Structure 1
Amino acid sequence: MLTLLFTCFRATASDWTAVAIPSNKVMAIEVTPEGVVAAEYDDRLWLNPYNGMYLSGDAGDNWTKVGLQGKGVKVLKYKNGVLYAGTFYTTSTPRGLYVSRYPYSEWEHLGPTYNITSLDACGDYIYMGTSYNGLMVSPDKGINWTQKIGLGVEGPEIIALFCLEETVLASTRTSVHISKDNGETWEILDMFSGVTIYSFTRNGKYTVASGTGYEGIFVSEDGGENWEQALLPGLRTPRKITSRGQYLYLVNGKDVLTTLNRFKDSETTLLDGVNTTDVIDLEAYKPSSYALLALNSSGKIFRKDIEDYEYSPVLSPPWNTQNEWELIEQINAYFDHEYPLLAYQYRTEPDEAGRTTLRYDGEEASIPTLYYSSHSGIDFDAEYGDPVLASASGNASYYHCRDCGNTVKIDHGNGLQTVYMHLQNSPLVQGNNTIRVNNGDEIGKVGLTGRTTGPHLHFETVSDTNGDGLFSDEYPHGRTDPFGWNYSELTDPWSELSWDDPLGSHTGALSRNLWKIMTPDKQSTPLINSSTLVMGNKIIEILNDAGKNFLRLTLEHASKPVREFPSPTLNYIKSTAFVIKVIDQLGNLSSADAVVKISLSVSPEALTSILPETIKIFRWDNIASSWVETVSSYDSATGVIEGVLDHFSYFAAFGEKYDPQPLSTQINIFPEPVNGTVATFPEISFSGNGALTVYSMDGGLTWGDYSQAFSINKQGLFDILYKSSDGAGRWEETKSFVLKVGAEVVTNKIRIVGASFGTLTDNPAP
């Protein structure tokens, strides 16, 4: 069995830090878009405790009292803009359920005055579990209530509640009940007889339950009707579980375990290295980066930051990069995490998924925003003839197919293979040879072989999922995205996809970020006036925070626009693509009316053939699928583009092209064709003002560099494609000349032009 050398950054005891607490009698915690809410329940009434609610918008550094003083809050639930609190004490107002909206300064009492044990809400329905009065259900946001489980004060005690649309789950000390009609009718699930479920959560497409009286956890793929038991090594009695993206977190006494790979295994977060009592509550949220909050039975809160991605930094860029953001900027087509099944004959993506691409950060869009659906690798924009470098040391071999052209595959000996497609003829390794290469060795040059519309490098990574040292049995499920997947945000559909076909059983592989140089491509700051962000050549200053300093502004490097420009006369300016977002503390996008100033430093080389006075920053409007010009300008003295932005999206700078002499290439045929026909074998040459001319004789599947005239020495119908480059990245549109060689030739030839197909038929007169 091959030992995989992928190493992810693991937790250490120092990853957990104690959070300042407003009280040592915190009974429950909950996360909201505005921050962390803590509930105090202190039965030492002679000490006159606050016994109310606290809110922190800065990850626990400072807490503010937000009401329900003296009520003794034991249960919290935030759902769809409403904070629900279950209180224990009667003061001048009754105990029971209270609800509020931000800023949580005013609270409304709803329903009967029962001792509440659990809460959830879906739509207009509120579900309230009690100690002695079973389950109470309100179908109208708390106006009317009906007891649905139990009879009067005969109980049973409701331990945990969970609702998802019309399905509701409720657990007692010895059973689990399910309703499929918003709590109107109920049945008992036999699977849970005799066990106590303390917590439910949703993890991707799964519903998960945890408790005591059995080993492991329970998992349902159909919303809770059918369940299977999943054993997790090291898990004892998980009383609380929570989920963030694809990660599932499970309380395990004094520790917290995490699992990512479909509940097959788990690992410790080492909370028990700093925590001395059992954990009673666990939440995940995003004050800056994603974070876990664990509340123990002594009222202490601990925090651990969570990596958005799994990292295995083993690869260098496959070309000589000039800066750390070029790796992202040069992407022109992404790995599609929904169905990366390009060229696989036994399964294709469904029609409904065929128009969109799901990128590594969870963004899903159609062309022209993202390219392209079912893509199984990363396309890096590159110049024809650029050196292609080995991303890591390993054994290199040659491969060729009609679509991929000249290809080099490198087995790195650690369970990872990298694949480099569309290379020029004569790469480093050819035939059946295997050559040892070192990291950074040139293995070929960017070409136009295979199915390609222009020079680029198609780069793939393949994982040896079964550890047998082979990659031939990893097709296509071993395909992974070298940029990883944001597992803290969403579940990766590819890693959840399983199917059987004539080649066997398949389950998509997990994707890890594999890049060594991947410095943080995203930074954030609280949305506070005068705060700044500096990342590479980009500087942001917040001019107006809109009075919402619990929000955060993020700045990210972005890939350059490659196909849709604001107008045909504009060119993209290198190193100016970026994304600005405003997010709340649950990681959701916010529409805050903030204003920022952006400064972009650009090199003189980036402005070659650009008229400086025309340079502007443009914002991409997703709704209109078009570019919108912003208030911006270029200062030639400082080399800085500045703009004031009040909408946040994807941005890039463009300027008008200065193009005194457009590229033009002519085909020369001797003897000169008559009506597209020559009777004898012709000589072909090209002339024009380009620095490099390439041509294809097979419909664009392979391209060759033109250096001298050549002859066609057989009869037939030939579709000669040709185009030229100025050597600085500009290419003219592909031209075509259909030439018939031999007067008596009768030929039918299929020609592909874009997405249309035409049949060229030539029938000479008898």
Structure 2
Amino acid sequence: MKGAWCRYKTVVGVTASIFFWCAVLTSNRVLAQELGTWQKLTPPSEWLNVITTTPWAIYAGQAVDRYGGTPSYNGVFVSTDLGITWQQSGLIDRGVRDLKYSDGKLYAATYLEKDGETGLFVSEDRGSTWQHKGPSYSLNRIFVAGQTILLGTTTSGLWRSTDGGVNYVQKIGTQAGSIILGVNCNQNVCLAGVYAKAHISTDLGETWAEMPDLAYTSPQSFAFGKNVMLAGTKDGLYTSYDTGKSWAFNTFLGTNEIGDVFHTKGRFYASKREADGKNTLFVSDDLGNTWASSGLVLNKTGYPLLGLSWAFSNPSYIFASGYGNGISRYAILPKQLPANPFLAKLWNRSRFSEQTDSITSYFDHTYPFLSYLYKTEPLEERGTTTNFYGEKAEEPALYYSAHDGVDFGLKYGTPILAPHSGYASYSYSQLGGHTIKVDHTNGYETLYLHLQSNGLAVKSTERKWVEEGAQLGLVGLTGNTTGPHLHFGVRKDKNNDGDFTNDAPEGLVDPYSWLDEFNPDPWEGYTWEDTLGTHQGSQSKYLWQDLLEPLTLYIEESGGSLNHENVTASIPNSSLVHPITAVVEKIPRLETLRVNSPLKYIQNTSVRIKFYDYLQDELNDLTSAITLTFDLSNSNLADTLPGSYIIKRFDRLNKTWESIPSMWNETTKQVSALVDHLSDYAVFGEKSDPTPPVTTIVINGERSGLWYKKYPTVALTALDGDGVETVDRTFYSLNEGLEWEEYINAFDLTKDGVYDILFRSSDASGNYEDAKDSPLLRVNTLNGINDESAVKGAAFQTSIN
């Protein structure tokens, strides 16, 4: 495959170890770069003072004063292979001091006059041709957002257009004498720096006010993070936490000149001009409070580093264009995931993706108050779920709102194993049914709900030591449940007092952590007050020993192939118009299909495929189809019709599964389809038995009128299909569905009262019969019942024949 590939693994824990290899193939040359390191590229010139990223390429601008006697191209250069090779892209001899991308257009701020024109030039064809727009002022910095353009001139202040560059109005400075050192905006807030002054606008540049805290600092760059802004000035770095109303000097980087400041993916980057004139680049992961050297040192002295940009790839890169120092590329070190990886298998499985595939309900990060009596989730969050990926959706796309654990859909009777050693204890509740709790003696407690009454590791509140891998119980149907599953919960002992009962709900955590790179975990930062006091949610660390390992590949526009476990995506060159980064990850099965659908979900085929451009914008629609293939040779195809397998795409807008025309290869056991819209996919097969069983109940006993005078005997019979007894299991409940027991043999009801019996059956194809009610039973063996309503709904004992 012509293109590039990268593979890396992060071993998470108290100390993270990262192993990485990345190779980029271009023109038969291979460049290898380790994460967290800088690489000096071979640009067309060492004199490049600005660099920017578009969805399809990296652009650099050159502005060498042609009157200084140095011959120069003085235009735009472009690279479509992450900076390895470069080509000219126009505006020759105009001196390009700034480049910006917005809405499919490339904007260039030029400094030198040519053919009677200087100022802003716009390209709508990726730099092939350029059109002059606006007044002919020499420009230093620009900002573009849609139809709004801010021109920072070298002598005439700042000009604003709201019609895409047709008309302009001067907003800062006089007709002559004001240079705009830097300008940047975030939403409606704009910042601009001139010599000795700094200005702020809260209406996207319409009106401006001075910021006295930045007076005489000469700001030349600005960056916006979440609830924080940075200003790089001649006198050092300044920080604002109140949308620019006040600024404080950041002492960490000292009083040296700060060139460019830049923010991406939750990180700040700041270039610092050292005392010897060399430029260094620093990185901050904590909103600019503390900084660490990135390792970059640009030896050419005399010029600040004013060109920083970022490109999404695998790995992602920071590009630094230093005037006189060419271009360097930094392979971004991923943020270390907060982790305490002590949890092993919950049940006997082969791959970790099988566990993820079994998730049916997520831990809701907004907000897990399901079992808490003193606080409910905010009204605007009800009916929605936010999972550990940072995805937020309404039911049934994601389940379920306020959920305080993770549900795994498992077959009834699946043995549940201790994922780590600890002290096990037992409890029972109407919501959770038979429950095992394990104190792992490391500050974490795990909970296992809805287990059967049989097979429990312990059935008392007294603690019992269990080793990792020991059976804790069997998946059941006890408590508030509509089907067999394991509710798995984790609690953190926040106050370290050894008592987990006082850590609910604030100690509840998600064992999958919080994987959204761009936004903070809502649960971790949530605070509230109730009758029990003041509370705050907890940080969720990644607790599994196994890793979620999506496949991430950088692919040039010539195409390539993605292979991840049992799924392959073949990408022809006609599908891409520029290089992309493809991500293939196994995901939970979503809300696949209703239980009694004629189709059966094929386990471990739920997959998400995404293509991203250099700005990490998702590309959903392709210019031509790619081929998606699932290998089912190792899948469990029992209870499905041979050759009936189809690929479905999940429509998130309509929350439905849509069938895609699919081809089945009986020899290779592979199903494939052409797709031109990227989404979530899964494979389904037609059930060999699409109908649920039918269960009948027979009650025998001596009766006088409506009353049984001796304990009656109950027998259940289930038939599936054409009168053949091929049911999987039959269940019954004596307490109105709060707890279901598996029916084995006929049993006697051995207590007086008035009650009914709920019963249902399931078959091997996963079809569940709707629960049925028995006729109302009246049992009065001791002649002690005078008021029928007083005993209806009471609990009863059973004895098995």
2:737 to 690, 695, 700: 700
Q: CA deviation at 1:656?
A: 1.4
Verify: 1:183 aligned to 2:221, yes or no: no
Per mean C-alpha deviation after superposition, the further-off stretch among 713-722 and 5-14 is: 5-14
For residue 43 of structure 1, what is the amino acid of its counterpart? D
Instruction: Specify every segment of 5 or more residues in structure 2 that has no aligned partner in the other structure, as ranges.
Output: 1-11, 21-33, 274-279, 719-724, 780-785, 795-801
Question: Could you list the runs of 5+ residues in structure 1 that have no partner in the other structure?
Answer: 752-766
The one-character-per-residue Cα deviations of 1:399-426 (angstroms, maximum 9, x if unpaired) are 5544233333444455544333323336
Matched, 1:81 2:107: no
Q: How do residues 24-103 of structure 1 correspond to structure 2 at under 5 angstroms?
A: 24-43=46-65, 46-103=69-126
Determine if contact 1:525/1:532 at 8 Å carries over to the other structure.
Answer: no
Contact 2:701 2:708 survives alignment (8 Å): yes
- Which secondary structure state, in structure 1, belongs to the residue aligned with residue 180 of structure 2? coil
1:745 aligns with 2:788: yes
- State the shift of 1:610 in Å: 1.0
Q: How far apart are the structure 2 equivalents of 1:516 and 1:413? A: 17
Matched letter for residue 638 of structure 2: T
- Quickly say closer, same or farther: Cα 1:316–1:100, change in 2 above 3 A: farther
Q: Find the aligned partners of 1:675 and 1:43 in 2 and give their Cα distance.
A: 110
1:619–1:649 contact (8 Å) kept in structure 2: yes
Moved more, 527-536 or 612-621: 527-536
Alignment of 1:92-131 (within 5 A): 92-131=115-154
1:173 and 1:498 map into 2 onto residues whose CA distance is 43
Of 721, 739, 755, the residue aligned with 2:758 is 721
String of CA shifts for 1:287-342, please: whole Å, max 9, x gaps: 23443334445233222234377263443231221234212211111233333333
* Residue in structure 1 matching 2:38, options 17, 26, 29: 17
Q: Secondary structure at the match of 1:153?
A: coil
Greater shift in the superposed pair: 432-441 or 4-13:
4-13
Q: 1:180 to 1:432 in 2, by over 3 A?
A: same
- Which of 568, 572, 578 lines up with 2:601 in the alignment? 572
* Contact residue 576 and residue 600 of structure 1 kept, 8 A: yes
Q: CA, structure 1 residues 159+412, in 2 after alignment: closer, same or farther (shift >3 Å)? A: farther
1:758 maps to none
Contact 1:120 1:161 in 2 (8 A): yes
- Cross-structure match for 2:628: 598
Residue pairs, 1:101-250, within 5 angstroms = 101-155=124-178, 157-190=179-212, 192=214, 195=217, 197-204=219-226, 206-212=227-233, 218-220=239-241, 224=243, 226=245, 239-250=259-270
- After superposition, residues 165-564 of structure 1 pair within 5 angstroms as 165-190=187-212, 192=214, 195=217, 197-204=219-226, 206-212=227-233, 218-220=239-241, 224=243, 226=245, 239-251=259-271, 254-259=280-285, 263=287, 266=290, 268=292, 270-272=293-295, 280-296=306-322, 298-307=325-334, 310=337, 312=339, 313-425=341-453, 427-463=456-492, 471-472=500-501, 474-518=503-547, 520-526=549-555, 528=557, 531-543=560-572, 545-564=574-593
Residue 80 to residue 633, structure 1, CA distance change in 2 (3 Å)? same
Is the Cα–Cα contact under 8 Å of residues 222 and 232 in structure 2 kept in the other structure?
A: no
Corresponding residue number in structure 1 for 2:28: none
Task: Tell which deviates more after alignment, 573-582 or 40-49.
Answer: 40-49
Offset at residue 369 of structure 1 (A):
2.3
**1:85-128: CA deviation from partner (whole Å, max 9, x where unpaired):** 22222223523222223412222222233343432233422122
User: Residue type matched to 1:737 in 2?
Assistant: S
Which stretch has the larger CA shift, 605-614 or 159-168?
A: 159-168
CA distance in 2 between partners of 1:10 and 1:466 (Å)? 32
In the alignment, is the contact (CA less than 8 A) between 1:714 and 1:741 conserved in 2?
no
For normalisation by structure 2, the TM-score amounts to 0.82
Q: Distance in 2 between matches of 1:384 and 1:444?
A: 11
CA distance in 2, matches of 1:513, 1:342: 22
- Aligned counterparts of 2:91 and 2:397: Cα–Cα separation in 1: 48
- Compare 91-100 and 287-296 and name the one that shifted more: 287-296
SS in 1 for 2:563: strand
CA distance in 1, matches of 2:289, 2:446: 27
User: Do the aligned residues in 1 keep the contact of 2:566 with 2:631 (CA within 8 Å)?
Assistant: yes
Inter-partner Cα distance in structure 1 for 2:770 and 2:651: 28
Displacement of 1:715 in angstroms is: 5.2
Question: Aligned with 1:320: secondary structure?
Answer: coil
Alignment correspondent of 1:612: 642
TM-score of the superposed pair, with normalisation by structure 1: 0.85
Structure 1 counterpart SS, 2:295 = helix
Measured after TM superposition, the shift of residue 53 of structure 1 is: 1.6
> What secondary structure, in the 3-state scheme, does the structure 2 residue paired with 1:70 have?
coil
Pick closer, same or farther for the CA change 1:182–1:560 going to 2, 3 Å. closer
- 2:773 aligned residue: 736
Deviation of 1:483 (Å)? 2.8
Secondary structure class of the residue paired with 2:99: strand
Relative to structure 1, the CA distance from residue 502 to residue 7 in structure 2 (aligned partners, 3 Å threshold; closer, same or farther) is: farther
Alignment check: 8 A CA contact 1:597 1:645 kept: yes
Q: Which moved more, 1:738-747 or 1:175-184?
A: 738-747
- Would the aligned equivalents of 2:106 and 2:126 in 1 still touch at CA under 8 Å? no
Flag the 1:232–1:500 CA change in 2: closer, same or farther, 3 A. Answer: farther
Cα distance in 2 between the residues matched to 1:715 and 1:210:
80
Is the contact between residue 6 and residue 414 of structure 1 (CA under 8 Å) also seen in structure 2?
no
- Of all paired residues, the percent bearing the same amino acid is 31
Map of 1:756 onto structure 2: none
1:702-749 Cα deviation digits (max 9, x unpaired): 333334444445555535333334467554333333635367412698
Instruction: Flag the 1:682–1:93 CA change in 2: closer, same or farther, 3 A.
Output: farther
Find the aligned partners of 2:255 and 2:731 in 1 and give their Cα distance: 66
1:626 aligns with 2:656: yes
SS in 2 for 1:646: strand
Deviation at 1:464, TM superposition (A): 5.4
Between the aligned partners of 1:203 and 1:66, the Cα distance in structure 2 is: 32
Check 1:667–1:203 CA distance in 2 against 1; reply closer, same or farther (3 A cut). farther
Counterpart Cα distance in 1 of 2:545 and 2:248: 39
Deviation at 1:84, TM superposition (A): 2.4
Higher alpha-carbon deviation: 82-91 or 724-733: 724-733
Query: How far apart are 1:443 and its partner, in Å?
Result: 2.4
Aligned partners of 2:503, 2:255: CA distance in 1, in Å? 35
Query: What is the CA distance between 1:649 and its match in structure 2?
Result: 1.3
What's the CA shift string for 1:637-681, capped at 9, x where partnerless?
221112222222111222211129842333333349999975765
Q: CA deviation at 1:535?
A: 1.0
8 Å Cα contact 2:690/2:765 also seen in 1: no
Alignment partners' CA distance in 2, 1:366 and 1:675: 53
Larger mean Cα displacement after TM superposition, 390-399 or 75-84: 390-399
Q: 1:441 to 1:564 in 2, by over 3 A?
A: same
Conserved 8 A contact 2:38-2:296: no
How many pairs align? 741
Determine the C-alpha separation between the residues in 2 that align with 1:123 and 1:714: 76
